[in-house]
Amino acid sequence: MAEKKRGFVRNTKQREVILSVLRGTDTHPTADWIYQEVRRELPNISLGTIYRNLRILVESGDALELSFSGESSRFDGNPKNHYHFACTKCGNVYDIDLPVVDGLNDAAEKLSGHKVKSHRLEFYGICQECDGSAGGGFQ
Ligand code: ZN
Ligand code: MN
pLDDT digits (tens, 9 = 90+) for 35-49: 999 999 999 999 999
Same-domain status, 94 and 72: no
Same-domain status, 40 and 103: no
Per-residue pLDDT tens over the stretch 69-126: 777 899 999 999 999 999 999 999 999 999 999 899 999 999 999 999 999 999 999 9
Calculate the alpha carbon distances from 13 to 45, 68, 92, 116 in Å. Answer: 11, 30, 29, 35
pLDDT of 139 reads 44
The model's confidence at residue 134, banded by pLDDT at 50, 70 and 90, is low
CA gap 29, 39 in Å, rounded: 15
Ligand 1: centre distance to CA 132 (Å): 9
Same-domain status, 30 and 57: yes
pLDDT of 93 reads 95
Q: Domain total for the chain?
A: 2
Question: Which one has a higher pLDDT value, 1 or 46?
Answer: 46
Q: Which residues sit with Cβ closer than 5 angstroms to ligand 2, an ion?
A: 76, 95
Domain coverage including residue 110 = 81-139
135 has pLDDT over 70:
no
Which three-class secondary structure state does DSSP give residue 97? coil
Same-domain status, 89 and 69: no
Question: For position 126, which CATH number holds?
Answer: 3.30.1490.190
CB 83 within 8 Å of CB 123? yes
Q: Which of 77, 101, 120 is the last residue of a domain?
A: 77
The verdict on pTM exceeding 0.85 is: no
Ligand 1: centre distance to CA 94 (Å): 10
Ligand 1: centre distance to CA 88 (Å): 7
Ligand number nearest to the C-alpha of 91: 1
Q: Which of 60, 77, 94 is the last residue of a domain?
A: 77
Exposed e or buried b for every residue in 119-130, given b needs 16+ CB within 10 A? eeeeeeeebeee
Same-domain status, 70 and 89: no
pLDDT of 52 reads 96
CB 74 within 8 Å of CB 122? no
pLDDT of 11 reads 77
Same-domain status, 35 and 72: yes
Provide the CA 69 distance to its chain's centre, in angstroms: 15
